[in-house]
Structure 1
């Protein structure tokens, strides 16, 4: 009796804000990632150059097979700030697709209901979609990366999924486009709380809108041997591209498997979470040429119930040294990731029945970044030494963070969006460039940790 009216009030309030923004003619379009150089002391090109090297590196194992020993702390060293920021940049670039060209293609497709399809129509649609992707392809080309969109995710003109790859870099990144600031329908998808049985492809019950964007909607379709769905289209694209990269690797006598990463922001983060879960449940589905690496989501809403979360944890804990981790990056005061009782504490799940509308819980390892440059908080001991049981070690490391490396000072409100200061922080901090600012302000912690590890933990 309380939950639905409360959510309705929130959605009405959000709709009013977006209508005011539209009426005033304020430009809410995502600025080009190329304009983000003013948000960092280092050049974006340098960040991506280092990040793509990390994306293509083989998984670093810290298990001593001869002695049956391993260091769980050292596994966390595979998480690097340049890698996280590179994935954020790729997730952000997905917003730069030219929607006017996509709409032209959609208009042509809808016209097929009344006439036969001819070759000229197909070529027109292809050309419009290629033109729509030009801003993305032109930007990532500078970084030695290629891009193509893969699927419209059972919708037209809304969220979509694309693939970035580097043949020489030996990696593939599948990215999901998130919530456009002024698109009420996409914000609505973030806040919807209706669930659906997801056991045909995942676990438990999950967000209905996200699930039906990726998988067949009904059980009958899900049980067919021939199951056409966006998730299958993505897997086909991954396998095909991995085979191409493998053929190139043969020419240079390279035997490393192709690293596969998954990312997305906002609504795209929710979709990325479900797709990544599907891959972890069926790791062989991507073929023997790929190794599933990490999923890194930004501002992702909660997507499943407590059974979904419990089974995901069981899957993630099935290996002593997992090569795949779901990292959930959260900026402080961002409203979307916080709409969940599990955000207060995961143990609250015991008080919710499966039919409860608030039976939604986050999965993966959370990293929360702060805009004051303070130490990020996380569910895994990222900023602790391998002797993290000794608090003096952590204290020493924290002191190094605060004294040896200067924090970056950025006022994004004045740099990119002059109107930002008028937007409530719980909406403002949902923007991708705000996530980049929070990451950059925490860079000195990662750099100090890396320096400390290199000096003391080899």
Structure 2
């Protein structure tokens, strides 16, 4: 009797393991396909041409969407996982690049006609991932409090990037995706003025209510409502540093343009490629929606 019972338990356990393995395999395959499909129709991240436009619109020569496509093209050109030479769009000069030693460039400074564009890519390196996770807050001058990890990344580039913005006497765009969107928001906050505009894609929350209140509508966040990164950090985060103090608050600021495209995984929903498809009007989601709000 005892051997039969043991055998029955073993058979049931084996069946459970097989079922769980099949479910995980199917889920992994589905998520992987979703990520690949969001990047290119061939499922290869090396199929770069779908998202790097060989002839993107020129700034100031079309409508608002054309400008956003031109800017998005500059961001996607920054997104390499190794340090490589960045190829600027036609009729555009890449005047400077900055990044951690031996790592992919984080920021590119482009000049196109009268326009200066400061473009930040998203998270790539282990150090940047660790920065993303440092969600306690630090003072950001007169602008309230901001995410510590984003602040640390800002400090790395401020002395290099700020002079380019301040000495340019024409229109300037400060743009970025993901972590780069957070950095673009901080650089915009510090340098905002009559000729300064900001544009971010899939940006997380950056700072507290004071920081958000001091942003104006000249910085626009483009948000996929299924992109979970745009909802992080949470609006109220526990203050583990000083438990007796108030919660850390994180509030979005500026103007937002929202759409919805669920591609089956958090990573696919967050890819810059998904945002470019929205701008191109080629998103595969027939239920694509958009609206514009402030704060």
Same fold (TM over 0.5): yes
Matched, 1:178 2:122: yes
What is the aligned partner in structure 2 of residue 157 from structure 1? 103
What is the aligned partner in structure 1 of residue 134 from structure 2? 192
Q: What stretches of structure 1 of length at least 5 have no aligned partner? A: 1-16, 22-26, 38-43, 56-78, 103-131, 216-228, 243-256, 284-290, 317-323, 344-352, 373-420, 444-458
Matched, 1:275 2:115: no
Shift, 1:342, TM fit: 4.7
1:272-293 deviation per Cα after TM superposition (whole angstroms, max 9, x unaligned): 110110102xx4xxxxxxx533
Please show how residues 285-434 of structure 1 align to structure 2 within 5 Å. 292-310=195-213, 312-313=214-215, 316=216, 325-342=218-235, 355-357=246-248, 359-371=249-261, 424-434=264-274
Q: Distance in 2 between matches of 1:360 and 1:149?
A: 32
Please show how residues 6-405 of structure 1 align to structure 2 within 5 Å. 31=46, 33-36=48-51, 44-45=53-54, 48-49=56-57, 51-54=58-61, 80-96=64-80, 99=82, 102=83, 132-133=84-85, 136-137=86-87, 139-140=88-89, 143-152=90-99, 157=103, 160-166=106-112, 169-180=113-124, 183=125, 185-199=127-141, 202-215=142-155, 230-238=157-165, 242=168, 257-280=169-192, 283=193, 292-310=195-213, 312-313=214-215, 316=216, 325-342=218-235, 355-357=246-248, 359-371=249-261
Task: Name the SS of the counterpart of 2:110 in structure 1.
Answer: strand
Q: Distance in 2 between matches of 1:29 and 1:234?
A: 33
Count, aligned residues: 238
Q: What stretches of structure 2 of length at least 5 have no aligned partner? A: 1-27, 33-38, 237-243, 284-295
Q: What's the RMSD between the two structures over aligned residues?
A: 3.4
Q: Distance in 2 between matches of 1:354 and 1:205?
A: 14
Task: Name the SS of the counterpart of 1:209 in structure 2.
Answer: helix
**Whose strand fraction is larger, Structure 1's or Structure 2's?**
2
Q: Distance in 1 between matches of 2:102 and 2:250?
A: 27
Shift, 1:172, TM fit: 0.6
TM-score after normalising by structure 2: 0.69
**Whose helix fraction is larger, Structure 1's or Structure 2's?**
1
Q: Contact between 1:298 and 1:328, CA under 8 Å: does it hold in 2?
A: yes
Shift, 1:152, TM fit: 2.4
Deviating above 4 A after TM superposition, structure 1's stretches of 4 or more consecutive aligned residues are 27-33, 340-343
Task: Name the SS of the counterpart of 2:138 in structure 1.
Answer: strand
